[in-house]
Amino acid sequence: MKVLRTAFLLTALTLVLLVLGNAFGGPNGMKVALGFAVVMNAFAYFFSDKIALWSSGAKPVSREELPRLYEVMERLAAKANLPVPELYIVPEAAPNAFATGRNPRHASVAVTQGLLQLMNDDELEGVIAHELSHVRNYDILISSIAATIAGAITYMARMGYWASLFGYGGSSRDNDRGGGGLTAILMLILAPIAALMLQLGISRQREYAADETGARMVGQPYGLISALQKLGAYNQRIPSSIPQSTAALCIVKPLFGGGVGSIFASLFSTHPPLEERIAALRQMTITRQG
């Protein structure tokens, strides 16, 4: 069901881009919008992982440096029949973790120093299982595509708005009635908002799915539940240096400077509320094998 929801949201996101291109440039505008999305998706496919690791300050680590992390990762990767991802450490106190990479053979998992210091073995296992689930479910690729299309929609809306002001694109009928400018303004405002909401919906669905898959990978949800509780508490107090462009990949939303109202923060969050994630995990029924 979660896969179908994600597919629906991705389809809706693409349709918003095509409708936007058609509104400003007719059939040719649709072709330009689609071509723009293809180019940006290709860039995200090959380079988004490198950008995420570089921007967060992540450093590669060897088995000799972090044997505890490698032991957990290798055990879970073997259990999930996945290649062992490249492992990175982010030198900061705020506990967090994220996975990146276009497919299981080109995946990386980064954890902060704070996370390794804070988590016991069961909690660390729950966090790593969650991140491996993102790799297994191709969530990083899906999220990168969604973010790229959303960015293309915003860019096309701005281009179309300025083009309409100077009489380019759109239909002459709209311009004759004086509706072209109003349509352009509505597109400029509504299209990026629709794209953002769809993108956030995809991100939240993939977080729920990774929680569930990770708990089943381990065989019980309690380590992940405890980890999420700790992560929620500590990330309310310790600011993070991970950039906001990478925050959507993290297991919990990092704390940044400044603040907004709780309603708006929840509405525009890339992550579901921790309380709802924990409640969903508590309701899971896992049958142990053997």
pLDDT at 208 over 80: yes
Nearest Cα to Cα of residue 137 among 224, 207, 72, 43: 207
In terms of C-beta density within 10 A (0-12 exposed, 13-18 middle, 19 or more buried), how is residue 232 classed? Answer: middle
More confident residue, 200 or 130: 130
| Average pLDDT score over residue span 8-21 | 62
pLDDT at 279 over 50: yes
The terminus-to-terminus CA distance of the chain in angstroms comes to: 28
Q: How confident is the model at residue 35 (pLDDT cuts 50, 70, 90)?
A: confident
Catalytic one of 125, 131, 207, 212: 131
Q: What is the pLDDT of residue 242?
A: 87
Q: At what angle do helices 67-79 and 121-136 cross, to 10 degrees?
A: 50
Domain boundary assignment for the chain? 2-282
Q: What is the pLDDT of residue 73?
A: 97
Q: What is the pLDDT of residue 175?
A: 47
241: left (phi over 0), alpha (psi -120 to 50) or beta: alpha
Nearest Cα to Cα of residue 130 among 5, 271, 237: 271
Check if 92 is active-site: no
Q: What is the pLDDT of residue 17?
A: 63
| Average pLDDT score over residue span 234-244 | 87
pLDDT at 147 over 70: no
Give the C-alpha distances (Å, rounded to integers) separating 119 from 123, 234, 264: 5, 12, 30
Reported pTM: 0.75
The C-alpha atoms of residue 58 and residue 111 are separated, in whole angstroms, by 8
| Average pLDDT score over residue span 22-33 | 62
Q: Go through the chain and tell me how many residues it has.
A: 290
pLDDT at 211 over 90: yes
| Average pLDDT score over residue span 186-204 | 70
pLDDT digits (tens, 9 = 90+) for 80-102: 999 999 999 999 999 999 999 88
More confident residue, 158 or 197: 197
